[in-house]
Amino acid sequence: MTNGMSRPAPARPYGSAVAAAPQPANIADVLERVLDKGIVIAGDIRVNLLDIELLTIKIRLLIASVDRAQEMGIDWWRRDPLLSDDQNDLIEENERLRQKIESLESSNE
């Protein structure tokens, strides 16, 4: 039964420390830490039948920031023509070469 008055907190001995409850990390902090440090997830899936290996799937997943990946020597996106600006240059060069071939073929006829 309450009468509207609250009870005082129990007294703690002098010098006793109260550990603060751990604060949940927000998603931005977790993501920043993962991208900064990098995380690798690896696994293998093997299918055997009577001690005969039928299928092996190796899964490797790396999650890191671009800067961190470059520090580790990973930069495949720079050489991939679908992901780099060099693709437009290749398309333009291809078109110029096709035009040259057409003009050479028409001059030979």
Where do we find the tokens 């603060």? 20
Return the higher-pLDDT residue of 15 and 59: 59
Q: Is the pLDDT of residue 6 over 60?
A: no
Per-residue pLDDT of 37-63, as tens digits, reads 888 888 989 999 888 889 999 998 888
Alpha-carbon distance of 76 to 69, in angstroms, equals: 10
pTM of the model: 0.41
pLDDT for the residue 100: 92
Task: List residues bridging with 58 in a β-sheet.
Answer: 44
Q: Average of pLDDT values for 12-29? A: 65
Per-residue pLDDT of 63-105, as tens digits, reads 888 888 888 888 887 777 676 666 667 778 889 999 999 998 8
